[in-house]
Amino acid sequence: MITISPTDNYKAIQDIAGKTWPVTYGPILSSEQIQYMFSMMYDLEALKNQAETKNHHFIIAEEDGNFLGFASYEFDYQNEPKTKIHKIYILPETQGSGIGKKMIYYISEKAKNNKQEFLSLNVNRFNEAIHFYTKIGFEKVGEEDINIGNGYLMEDYIMEKKI
């Protein structure tokens, strides 16, 4: 049975991201940009900092001792009753098995308990995950280009779902 639970196992998060990022972003970003972003966002100290100073809550999906995916989220994003999903990645070989839905449901329940009205996330405009988010009720509400340094942009759709 797949369980979703809070975690501070940053090494497991880093390992899952290391397996999903090349598959997810290889077709749409340069290897240099992937490397730059990965080290910026998934260094163990960076993950710890996201939890301790930026109020990111990390969760992990596990089955029979195997880690299958993770997500991070933040309540009251930009001082609004909105929960921002900062990260959600599922191992490529387990995508399509319902893990992503379980993690979104888990976050949604936590958000409801914290009097949030929306779930919000950013997704690269060329990421196939857009179809998953649309299928589970997210809608595109905007676009933004985020300068992340080193001459790179994150070119994203902003998607939201009322809860």
Dihedral-angle region of residue 150 (phi above 0 means left; psi in -120 to 50 means alpha; beta otherwise) = left
Is residue 6 exposed (0-12), middle (13-18) or buried (19+ Cβ within 10 Å)? exposed
Contact indicator for 155, 147 with CB cutoff of 8 Å: no
In the chain, alpha helices (H): 10-25, 31-42, 44-53, 99-113, 129-135
Contact (CB, 8 A) for 85 and 28 = no
Residues 155/127, Cβ–Cβ less than 8 Å:
no
pLDDT at residue 126, rounded to an integer: 95
- Gap between the Cα atoms of 114 and 126, Å rounded: 32
pLDDT in tens, the chain (163 residues): 999 999 999 999 999 999 999 999 999 999 999 999 999 999 999 999 999 999 999 999 999 999 999 999 999 999 999 999 999 999 999 999 999 999 999 999 999 999 999 999 999 999 999 999 999 999 999 999 999 999 999 999 999 999 9
Q: Please report, for the chain, the start and end positions of each structural domain, with discontinuous segments joined by +.
A: 3-116
* Architecture field, domain 3-116: 3-Layer(aba) Sandwich (3.40)
- Six token digits for residue 151: 């001459």
